[in-house]
Every structure is written in structure tokens, then in C-alpha cells.
Amino acid sequence: MGIKKGTKLTDNPKNTTFKVRLDEKTAEKLDVVSRKTNKTKSEVIRKGITEQYNALEKK
């Protein structure tokens, strides 16, 4: 059985795209973190943004 038409897939849709350029070392670091945490690169980046935002809020 597939997803029914009109089914709400998420409470927080990711509908904004952002393109970033990385050097080889940073790209490799992202790959390693992604593999070791079993998260997508997008999830790793979103978590990093959240951590940086929270650090600014604490100041």
C-alpha cells in the first residue's frame, strides 16, 4: 500500500534550497560525520546551524 494522495508527509517541510561550495578537506569532513552519525549531509548541516544559533542565543 502506498501513501494516499493528500497525506501530510511532514510537519516541517524542507522547501528552501541552499547551495554551498566546500573545499576538499571540508567536504571530506562532512562525509565522515555523515557516515559515522548515519545522518544525511543535510541533517548534519542543519544540526550545525542549530548549534551555532543556540550558541549565539546563550551570549
Which three cell numbers, joined as nine digits, stand for 52?
Answer: 551555532
Q: What is the pLDDT of residues 12-39, one digit of tens each?
A: 888 899 999 999 999 999 999 999 999 9
Domain ranges within the chain, ordered by starting residue: 24-58
What is the reported pTM?
A: 0.77
Q: How far apart are CA 31 and CA 40, in angstroms?
A: 9
